[in-house]
Structure 1
Amino acid sequence: MIERPVSRRSLIAGAAAFGTLGAAGCSRVSTADVTDGGNLLERLRAQGTVRLGIAGEIPFGYISKKAEVTGEAPELAKIIFKRLGVPHVQPVPTEFGSLIPGLNSQQFDVISAGMFITPERCKQVLFADPDYQVLDALIVRKGNPKGLRNYADIKRTGAKLASGTAYAEIDYAVDAGVKRDSIQIYPDQLAGLLAVAQGRADAFAGTSLTVRNVVEQTKNPKVEGTEPFLPRLDGKPAYGAGAFAFRKGETKLRNAFNEQLLKMKKSGELLRVVKPFGFTATEMTDLTAEELCKG
């Protein structure tokens, strides 16, 4: 059974464990040679452990009440890296906005946090092909008194919008005409839900999976989630497709990872692994990192 926090107290307890594990795993990885596709895979096989950068976001990557790393991305990482000859994973918790800097400063080996592939991020890291695709949703006050269904509604009504640190939803909202400096930024979806419940924000934007999970887990009677919707960016549909990310130049590791991921997609194993975290066949995707990096 997958462990998931089910109350604010449990989430806070999980955060405490999260911090403890982060302190234990804060030393830097050794510098990799990224010439000719990199040698990180060989080094990981030799040491037997891969360090995963996670951001404490349910259902993508987080620490359970038992102080164990879980979520769709870490569970997928456990399987794929074992098949690549790396039997152990070690979580390195950090804030979402620090994942790319942390990866590139070698605080960990791979981002395992369901990070959306965007052209801007593709300039900074090397993405695997996406393991899921998801729509957006909003956390709103119970009954949705302002009738907020998408970012255009936020703009039209002048509602106070909140989102998470470095979330792609911020750019989607700005593209719809919401002023960037008016968007409240919170460290995670729980803080965002509380902001809405307490009236500090009218809506919190996140993925439909994130919104659904935090609403169901907290059972806060003052809020609800909206129906999922497809956002737009630069006049085009913005497909929220998440993937693992590696340092630039580590093409050997990324390609080996992609090979295993493709096998799991074709066999249906990928869906079986991520289904306990709320993913369905609707979230499965054949999009590639190459397509998404072009925008």
Structure 2
Amino acid sequence: MRLTRFNLSKPFDVSKDQVRTQTRRSAKIKIQRGLIMTTVNTLRRMPKLGALIATAVVTLSAGSVSADTLDNIRQSKILRVCGVDGLLPYSSSDASTPGFEVEIAGKMAEALGAKAEPVWVSWDALIPALTSDRCDAIINGLFITPEREKVIAFSAPYYASGETILVRKDNDSVHGLADLNGKRVGVLAGSVTVQHMENKKMGVPEVYPDQNTIILELNNGRIDAAYLEAPSAAWVLAKDPTLNIKIVDEFVPDERFNAGVGLRKGDESLKKAFDEVVTKLRDDGTIKNILHHYQVPFFPIAN
């Protein structure tokens, strides 16, 4: 508090203007106090008013975010897509070989009346980039999991991924895991395929430190088959057509992982639009054809 010193040796000299100013200030303070007490008393009589206002604000905010994102995409004709560069066969900034996720994103954007504009980030930064509004969607092989669904929303799944079986081109005897019984099967160290082979007790797992070694061993006939993650194995074959190896097309893994378009929670209109686009592109064969261009199997969506 600031204290005012008075010179008691002189009489107070208070002008009429000062009196009027002080009077107005006092009146203003009384009015403000009255308004505050009126508001407090009103809230006491209506205890649910604050909660109702908060709910209304949140609801309106969520609706406006949803409408704004989709409207912005349609007005700007740009769909900002978060992806990881150099992650073939999924995604790449190389226009000659963009990856199947980039091609799928282009078709989805086209269906929304826009053009896909990539926003390249690291894998760990995909979800943070989306939630901070650096992009409108993640289209980069992001599998739908309960943990991720706590943070972001997903469209309907547009493809499913899993493991696949590879054999030499002259081998027509292998159609599924049961046909690997007694055969030497190359698997990647630390991968889920090792556990699958051990749990199903099918085949003799030959564990290797890297995928390239498995491919070479299979191509040279030192193992009978390989059991690998489908997209990466398919990409090896797509890059080198001289390899004497093929994918067992009829094999469908029991454990499959659905990939969906990652979206911000609250973007309900955009999610609805993506659900419709995904269903159309999946049903009309567009996504299947893009995957096959990269020799990636098109598995049924997991239940």
- Give TM-score scaled by structure 2 length: 0.53
Distance 1:98 1:172, change over 3 A: farther
Correspondence for 1:275: 289
Gaps of 5+ in 1: 1-32, 141-148, 164-169, 187-191, 233-237
Instruction: Tell me which stretches of 4 or more aligned residues in structure 1 moved more than 6 Å.
Output: 171-178, 183-186, 220-229, 279-282
Native 8 Å contact 2:281 2:287 kept in 1: no
Q: 2:232 aligns with which of 210, 217, 221?
A: 210
Distance 1:65 1:136, change over 3 A: same
Matches within 5 A, 1:42-53: 42-53=71-82
Q: Distance in 2 between matches of 1:66 and 1:254?
A: 30
Correspondence for 1:13: none
Correspondence for 1:143: none
Residue 123 (1) aligns with residue 150 (2):
yes
The percent of aligned pairs where both chains have the same amino acid is 21
Q: Distance in 2 between matches of 1:226 and 1:261?
A: 27
Q: Deviations over 1:35-88 (max 9, x none)?
A: 126231112223321221223433433333548x452x3333323323323x22
- Give TM-score scaled by structure 1 length: 0.54
Native 8 Å contact 1:127 1:254 kept in 2: yes
Matches within 5 A, 1:160-175: 161=188
Deviation at 1:103, TM superposition (A): 2.2
Q: 2:259 aligns with which of 223, 237, 242?
A: 242
Deviation at 1:133, TM superposition (A): 2.3
Q: Distance in 1 between matches of 2:163 and 2:157?
A: 16
Native 8 Å contact 1:138 1:205 kept in 2: yes
Residue 40 (1) aligns with residue 66 (2):
no
Q: 1:104 aligns with which of 104, 110, 131?
A: 131
Distance 1:162 1:244, change over 3 A: farther
Q: Distance in 1 between matches of 2:253 and 2:268?
A: 31
Q: Distance in 1 between matches of 2:291 and 2:125?
A: 24
Distance 1:184 1:95, change over 3 A: farther
Aligned partner of residue 241 in structure 1, secondary structure: strand
Distance 1:225 1:116, change over 3 A: same
Which amino acid is 2:103 matched to?
E
Deviation at 1:95, TM superposition (A): 3.6
Which amino acid is 2:110 matched to?
K
Which amino acid is 2:260 matched to?
A
Distance 1:281 1:138, change over 3 A: closer
Aligned partner of residue 283 in structure 1, secondary structure: coil
Distance 1:227 1:278, change over 3 A: closer
Distance 1:172 1:255, change over 3 A: farther
Residue 251 (1) aligns with residue 251 (2):
no
Gaps of 5+ in 2: 1-59, 168-175, 200-206, 218-222
Aligned partner of residue 141 in structure 2, secondary structure: strand
Which amino acid is 1:58 matched to?
L
Distance 1:138 1:54, change over 3 A: farther
Instruction: State the superposition RMSD in angstroms.
Output: 4.8
Q: Distance in 2 between matches of 1:281 and 1:222?
A: 17
Which amino acid is 2:267 matched to?
E
Distance 1:136 1:249, change over 3 A: same
Native 8 Å contact 1:136 1:229 kept in 2: no
Which structure has more relative contact order (CA 8 Å, sep 6+)? It is: 1
Residue 60 (1) aligns with residue 90 (2):
yes
Q: Deviations over 1:223-254 (max 9, x none)?
A: 9878886666xxxxx32222211122212101
